[in-house]
Amino acid sequence: MLTCSFDATSVTSLRRAVERCARAAGLDDLAVFVFCLAVHEAVINAVCHGGGRGKVHLWQHADRLSCQISDQGPGIATNLRHPPCPEPDSSNGRGLWLIRRVCHDVTITCDSAGTRILLHFPLHPPSQPGANTPVTPSAA
């Protein structure tokens, strides 16, 4: 669906491209917002902490959208990969927490090539109450 490089100057146009892909995949307005927010947070982390640039690869499966955001930065410390809920007055530390709250599955890989964050987002939320449904921002 989408493969491109990004840096700080292209974040806005990348977000629009991700939004177009999410809509084309059939996500409703709220799901588009939530998915784009998760991808945007990972992209901003790459810009701020991963060397200022990176790559996005977005593809669709039958039941989900997947997006890999990669950079050539130093990686994310193991103890920061599953952050707790940030304090309300904290000025940072929300990106990975938010990503993990709204995506169905998140995998973070760090090695000598850099960091890769792989996000999976369901195209159709489970119909059973209490099923593994991503949390929307209003419920987080």
Q: CATH for 2-139?
A: 3.30.565.10
Question: What is the share, in percent, of the chain residues with pLDDT greater than 90?
Answer: 69
Q: Mean pLDDT, to the nearest integer, of 62-72?
A: 96
Produce one character per residue of 96-123: b if its CB has 16 or more CB atoms within 10 Å, e if not.
bbbbbbbbbebebebeeebbbbbbbbbb
- pLDDT band at residue 128 under the 50/70/90 scheme: very low
Rounded distance between C-alpha atoms, residue 59 and residue 3, angstroms: 9
The CA distances from residue 11 to 49, 126, 136, in Å, are 15, 31, 23
Q: Is 70 exceeded by the pLDDT of residue 133?
A: no
- pLDDT band at residue 100 under the 50/70/90 scheme: very high
Determine which of 24-28, 30-34, 88-92 has the lowest per-residue pLDDT on average: 88-92
Give domain limits for the chain.
2-139
Q: Mean pLDDT, to the nearest integer, of 24-46?
A: 96
